[in-house]
Structure formats: C-alpha cells, structure tokens
Chains A and B, each alone.
Chain A
C-alpha cells in the first residue's frame, strides 16, 4: 500500500473549483492513494453500457412507494390486490423502477435510478407513526421503518447537507448530485456516504456522485479491506473525529458507509446490511456466482431498474394472484387503456400518480395519549386531527412500545416539541444510541437504562415480553418519569388487542 508513488492528480473531471481544497500540507506521494490513476479501470468503465437511458432526468415520475405498516396491515384475507385500489401493502425499499415491458400487458413504467434513502414526507405528523396513515400527498415519499426480527431500524433519514433537513420539499426520486466525484468539496462534506463496490474494487453504487468517477476512490476502499484481510483480520470500523467509516464484506460485495452523523456503529452497520439485503432481494445470491466467474463483473445495469411490490405474505395466494393478473390483463387489453397509457407516457410526459389509500383498511392506528382516556377506534378521525400538545404528563414527549412476542410495535404521535423533522430525527438518533447501548453484543442485553442529557431524559426497559423506549423533557423528574412509563406499559397491555394484530403471526413465511 505504501508503494504507490504515482503523484498524478485524479483523472476524474474535478469540480471547476480547486480540485484539492484540502491540500495535504505533507507532500506525501502516498496521498495519491485517492488520486490514483487507474487506466485499466477507465478502460473497463468505457465498455460499460448502461441500459438506463436516463432520458427523463427530471425525475418527476412518481414512485409507487407505500407507507410501511409494520403492524402488519397487510391485505385482508380475501387477498384482492387492486391496482390503484388503495390497499396498503407492505413495502420493500425501492431501488429503482424496472422497465416492465410486457407484451401482454403493454405497460411501460418509468425508469429511474432512485436513491436508496428517502427523505421525510412533507407532512410532519405522518412520520413515525406505527399505524401509518398513508401518504398525504401524491408527491410525498414515505419514510421507512422496518421491524426486522429483533431490531427496530430506521434508514434513510439522512439529508445531504446540514441545515437542509428542515426542508419541506417533496422528495424526488433519482440520484442527486450525480456529477460529484471524490475531488469535489461538496462530495467530501456529505454527512453520510454509502458505497457498494466489488471485491476487485469496481464501484457499483455510490449515494453521492457518479460511480464512474469514483473508480479511484473505490479502489482505495478495496485496498484497505484487502490489506487488512491479508494481515489475517477483517476491518470493521475506522474512527476519526466525528467520522466513522464502517465496512461490511458480503462475499464478493463490499459495502462501506462514511458518516459523521454520530450514529452508533451498530446502526450504521445495520443500514449496510439492509442495503445488502435489498440488493440480494433483487439480484439473488447468484450474483456471487457471477463474480466467481468474472471478478470484473459489472452489476450496475442489473441494479438500475428494479421495482418490487409485495402484495401478500400468504404463500397460497400465488395461483389466485396469477389468475387475477390474467383477468386484469384481459380487461385492460380489451379497453385499449394500456396502449393509450404507454403513448401518453412516452409522448406527453404523463405521470402515473400515487393513488390514495383507504385508511380504514388499516388496523392499529391508535394514538395513545395518556391525558385522554378514549381509545382509538376510528382511525379516520385520527387522520384529520391535528394534535398540538406540549408533551404528556411528567413531560413525556414520545414513546415506542414493542411487543417482543408479537413482533410488533406501537408508538405515540409526535407532538410539540417534537414537531419538526429535525426534532424527530434527533430523537431517533438518541433512540439509536440507547438501543445500541442496551443491546450490547458481548455483555447485553441489559435490563433498564436511564439517560439524561441536555436534550432528553430517556428511559428504556427491556423485559422478556416487551421493550419500551420513552423520551421526556430533560428536566423531567425521575420518579414521575418512571411512574409514567409504568402507566404507559399498563395501558398498552390493556388495549393490546386493539392496537396489535393478534393470532397467528402475520410475518411467518
């Protein structure tokens, strides 16, 4: 690693400004690790043919992204998928949209290379809500909360720059800042980078910047990983000031996250795992075989355009769904709708709108407020209600109650002072740290934690049956906070039937 004496600057097209805004005062040729000229890789890249045309770059096409309903608001048992009918479906994080050109259906969906992470919806009150409410607007995207096994994970709440996260602008799919490369100041200043590269150092995906321009950087990452591996070890994390560089190796795929968000290592690693899971979901593990055959295998084209929609978890539904599809196909063909749609989309730039959801189909949309004793029965009321509170008793601001046995969770609404996106994000970060602390790999899980700093008082209980995370005003009284949490737990237990899905676990596959 130390013998790179190539001192040429990066062959990438640097930003128009000073290509190296952070000049290394040490004229050390080893600093050219990042500026490596990789002619060979350049040639390879030149031969890559992206199938994505990116012709419609304004990315105004909407993605069909549905709000996740972790309480299992799946389809009703009648398993009737309606295209645009408004059933809430489980969501898989979307990477892009696949061009489904099916001659029988004749539908052409818009292609896009969307980001892996999504921003906040424009409606603040719809986030973080277990029961979910459906998107409040056509252009809003969802945040994604996945309850996977034993973890509450949250991804995609990152904005590119400080200070931009308060924006209420609608999220648009497609990669932003695609012109950056590792020489740009702006690229270096991103709060959180994600990279996927192959074990030969070929860039597959980068959250910011054009992958093609990041070949050198990608090679550096690969060099670090293999160097440590050659020394008989496996690199997990590098820490420098506020930055953390997290590495995850999955066979021939390397995933790296560079973040200064102060999230715990376990959270960042979990996010990488999710990204990998996303990839494998689409591509399956046969990707490994491709890499075995050809280490320089380029999988970017495979990743570019894919869209998945999970309609049901019932494995019996397959044939029924197939029948439905055929029937729908017939109807659409007969009415000639689809070819019209296709033409309109190509010629007229028609957008396929996200269709509104029928909220009454959901269950578990309770909004627990200790100060009010009424139980949530009519969820549609909830939707209209704009609750402005100053925090519940003893300064309770928010809580999350997870039933371990049922593998579901309920959480309170966000109310003042956790109104803004910024506030919510900060709270989730605090929960993340609390979670990581409680679920310590070697020594945990622990039982109780009380944590107080200038932002919050946090309380966490882990028992065999449930987990509770609660956030209070930082000046909250300890005894009162404990009492409040007790009451919350009691209350949840009382209304368990109403806020959770009982019976056979809906998530058994």
Chain B
C-alpha cells in the first residue's frame, strides 16, 4: 500500500476510527471521526463511510443487541467492524479485487484492528481516556494519526493483500514465528500484554530492526525476507510524508505543538548502546526537551504503567519491566541496568548460546510433504510451515484453505456463544477442485490446518497422512485413538 498513494485517494483500503458519543448535534458530525485513512478523502466521503457504519451498528442492534455488527459484505468491498472500546469503533474497508478471489479472512482483518488498538493502548492508554482528557479530540487525533501511520508503514505490505503469499502469515501476525525471535518467554501474567510486547519487540527491537546508522533501505535489503518486510518506496516516502504532515498540522491547525507525541513505531529510533541496552529517543519528557526518558508502557491486565528496558546480546533480547513509582528515577534505572549486567550477563550469554544452537533455522518447522499450520490455544503456541515452503502451494489450494478457515471461524464463534466453556470439536477434509486435500481439525483448544497437494485420491490416505503428522508432531492430539 505504501504511503505513496496517500495523495491518490483511490486505495484498496480505507481505515477509520470513530466515536459514537461525539458529534451528535447537527453540523458537528465531523467530530465523530478520530482517524481516517486515506486522510485526503473529502470530508463528505468520510462522513458517508462513518454514516453507513453507524447506521448498520444501530440497525443490527435491533436484532442482535448482544453481538455487535461484525462485517458488511458488499460486491466490491468488505467492511470489517471492531468495537475497540465502548462506542469507539474501528472499521476497515478492503476492496475485493476482480481478478483474484477475496483471499483474506474477516477474522484475520479484525485481528489486525485488534492489534492496532492493543498496541496503541500499550503506549498511550485507552482512546476514551485521551478523549476525556481533551474532548475536542485534538489530542487523540494526533496520537492516533502518528501511531497508525507508523504502524501501516511497517506492516503495510501484510495488509495490502495483493500478494497472496502473505495471507497465511497475516493470520498469524501476532503469534506466529517470524525469524529468529520466535521464542518468547514472559512472566507477565496477561496474554494480551505478552502478545503486545512480543509484537513490538519483533517490529522494532529485533536486531534487524535496529538502526545501525546505515540507511534503512539498504539495511533491510540485506536481511532475509521477514514477514514485515516493507518495500523500498514505503520507506522512502513515509518519513517525508509524515514530516510534511507534522509541519502542516502544526501551522494550520493551530494546535498546541507542545504536546509531544511519542512515536514508538517509528523506524530507526532504537539503537543498541555500548552496554548492550537498547536506547531510544522516542520518549521525551516534553516536546521541547531533547533529553530522552526511559520508555514507559501500559500493562492492560493490571492497568499499571511500567518502564521498558531492553537488553540485547546477539540474538537474544531481554525485556525488563518495572513499575513506575515516584521513587524510581533515571538514576535508579541505571542502577538496575548495572545490576543486570553484573549479575546476569553470564547467564544471558549461556542462554543465548543454547538458543542459537538449538535454533533449527528458518526451516526448522518444515515437515516434508506437508504444508500446515498448528495452533495450540492452551499453550499459546503456533507452528507452521515456513513461508518459503508455503509459497509452493497453488493459489487455489490457499484460497480453499482460507475459505475453510472462515467456516471454522464461524463455527467456533457460534459454538462459543452457545456454550463458552466447551471447545468445538470438528474435522473437515475437502478434496478441492484442483485435487488438493484441504483439511481442518479442531479439538480441545488446538487447531490444525493442512494442505496436501501431492496426496492421492482417497480420503483414507489423506487421513492417514494427518494421523501420522499428529502422532509425530502434535503428541497425537488430533489422532482418533
């Protein structure tokens, strides 16, 4: 997608965030809009998008007061809804391309919205809180704009699903393996916080993402293709466009330029210090100050603010979180860092060695003859065939799998609303039109999806293949015995 298309306005994606509680009086409807991409769409268009969304939310409430509007499917577009906070809605509108099938899952798109919101909350707190702080919306709008634009510039390629290769990865954006930092041990109690931290770490703290002083373009070119690889044009443009935005906003909107908006998703803002700790100038006490402060984030579960410290040794990144208290200041933090270095360095080195040795490489989870995706909801683990192997599948197979996953999503959500405690148990094997076997197995919180293109005709053969896989790699979870 790239921000290079910001000026054209005819994007394949529209993305908006609005607040139902604002702009209720005639003439003030624009106040509802908290974020809109592409930003250069005329206001009338923006209002009709919001208006339609709001209308459908109200309409569906008539029949389904407990479950909010989820999606509008039209011939040319899908509108994906997500109620991020009470009365704060996010809507993503994706254009269906004529040549290729709709190759995204609605759930996958909704999880992108969830991720954006979750990450935003980790850095800035809730949208409602920012709105309450400044009801005219200036604060929240500037925060949302910079945050989401930064986010899009990084992950834009994944969302712009023109290239079908990526869609299998998109669905596991958060929990899937992505390069070397695929193990994440965390003692933070909340799953959501863990996922947020992991996502952020992968996006910005991995060795590849750090600024090395070289130009970003060539730096990324060097590395392997990661799931978040952005094109050169995006990188080239994003910085320029955003700078322009800030300059124009500052002068034209007359907003108080003194509130500093931390932009944690910005590229090249983290560097590795000599002591191994990662530093960044993203967080500052005030806009005018040039003294960086220690990064802080919000933990959702406990609703507390914590300092974020990251230590990196080769391929291992250690993230330390400690509560923000009045007694702890920058000096205190340096002390803690020192303690870590003194007492834990040796252990860190050893762990890193072990992990690196045990790292099977990018193709570690490749199982020859299978293309699979395994999701373990209990242990919050996922395994999948590496992207390079997935791309060997034909488009028809992938589309069939996608459709199957959508069906499974539907069944799971229905089962959940019927009986939240029981897990749905089901098995679906389809021999698709192109003769590939497309298989979904859901049992006791685990899911296994598989495409077998080289299997023979019979259902039994395909089932045997799955059973073998299950016995060898899934502890027999999916086997019938």
Contacts and interface: CB of A to CB of B under 8 A. Distances in A.
Interface of A: 1-3, 5, 22, 24, 26, 28-31, 33-34, 182, 188, 220, 223-224, 227-228, 230-243, 245, 258, 260, 262, 265, 433, 437-438, 440, 442-454, 478-479, 482
Contacts of B56: 224, 238
A81 to B, nearest CB: 45
B396 A237 contact: no
Interface string B56-67: 101111111111
Contacts of B74: 228, 233-236
A478 B459 contact: yes
Given A22-B61, A450-B459, A242 B67 contact: yes
B222 interface: no
Interface in B96-130: 101-102
A231 B52 contact: yes
B75 interface: yes
Given A236-B73, A241-B66, 16 more contacts: A1-B51, A1-B52, A2-B47, A22-B65, A30-B54, A220-B59, A228-B52, A235-B74, A238-B71, A239-B69, A242-B64, A242-B417, A245-B59, A443-B399, A448-B431, A482-B460
In this complex, the member of B64, B71, B432, B460 whose beta carbon has the largest number of chain A beta carbons within 10 angstroms is: B64
A-side interface mostly: mixed
Nearest to B441: A452
Interface in B9-32: 20-21, 24, 26, 29
B433 A449 contact: no
Nearest to A5: B26
Contacts of A24: 58, 61
A224 B407 CA distance: 26
For the complex of A and B, 5 pairs with smallest distance between CB atoms = A241-B67, A2-B51, A240-B60, A448-B431, A453-B426
B132 to A, nearest CB: 16
Contacts of B430: 437-438, 446, 448-450
B76 A223 contact: no
Nearest to A453: B426
Contacts of B67: 240-243
B105 to A, nearest CB: 13
Contacts of A447: 431-433, 435
Contacts of A242: 64, 67, 414, 417
Interface in B149-198: none
Given A227-B52, A232-B76, A241-B66, A454 B59 contact: no
A3 B26 contact: yes
Given A2-B55, A443-B396, A26 B429 contact: no
Contact of A234 (B62, B75, B396): B75
A34 B58 contact: yes
B72 interface: yes
A28 B58 contact: yes
Contacts of B428: 437, 449-452
A285 B58 CA distance: 35
Contacts of B407: 433, 437
A255 to B, nearest CB: 16
B399 A33 contact: no
A173 to B, nearest CB: 27
Contacts of B26: 3, 5
Contacts of B87: 26
B400 A446 contact: yes
A442 B396 CA distance: 10
A259 B386 CA distance: 41
B55 A223 contact: yes
A449 B48 contact: no
B64 A33 contact: no
Interface in B394-453: 396, 399-400, 403-404, 407, 411, 414, 417, 424-433, 435
